[in-house]
Amino acid sequence: MTCKVRKLCIPKDTTGAFLARVAGWNGQPIVQADIASITYTAYLIDEASGAQSVVANQQAIPAVVGSVIYDTLQVNNRWTADAIGYNFEHMPSIKVNPLFSIRGRRYLLVYTLVPTNSSLENIVVEFSIEVE
């Protein structure tokens, strides 16, 4: 399952909190117990060809399920999409390895959520980021 791509704009050499409402295969919002592991990979997009190249040291980075997935939908001033809320929040670290470092370029941040039920397919959440 792939959630629709969310588009964001952030300043060069910064990071942000990436928020989403993620549903499982049953159509209900996922909770921590639904997910065994999370990894993310960042890609730099070539606008001319559409080719994706992995950003150095930003491939298959693990994220802590309990820090990314909420068991209840969150509604606050950070979530502006609707009044329902979000259950996914992650801020990639850029302390050691730069991530959004080329102004005027587009990046794709792809999260892979592995379900605890091994008979289900992975859930993929994508964010498209324009760097200013």
pLDDT tens-digit map of 4-63: 556 778 889 998 899 999 999 999 999 999 999 999 999 999 989 989 999 999 999 999
CA 22, CA 115: separation in Å to the nearest integer?
A: 12
pLDDT for 40 equals 97
pLDDT for 4 equals 56
Q: How sure is the predictor about 96, in pLDDT bands with cuts at 50, 70 and 90?
A: confident
Residue 72 has pLDDT above 80, yes or no: yes
Mean pLDDT to the nearest integer, 54-73: 97
Residues whose CB falls within 8 Å of the CB of residue 100, separated by 6 or more in sequence, listed in order: 10, 12, 13, 14, 15, 94, 107, 129, 131
Three-class SS string for 64-104? CHHHHEEEEEECCCCCCCCCCCEEEEECCCCCCCCCCCCCC
Q: How sure is the predictor about 98, in pLDDT bands with cuts at 50, 70 and 90?
A: confident
Return the residue matching tokens 């091994």: 118
**What's this model's pTM, rounded to 2 decimal places?**
0.92
N-terminal to C-terminal alpha carbon distance within the chain: 30
75 token code pair: 């509604």
State percent of the chain over pLDDT 90: 81
Mean pLDDT to the nearest integer, 106-124: 96
CA neighbours within 13 Å on the CB side: how many for 120?
A: 19
Contact present, 73 and 86 (Cβ < 8 Å): yes
CA 10, CA 130: separation in Å to the nearest integer?
A: 6
- Domain edges within the chain: 6-131
CA 99, CA 83: separation in Å to the nearest integer?
A: 31
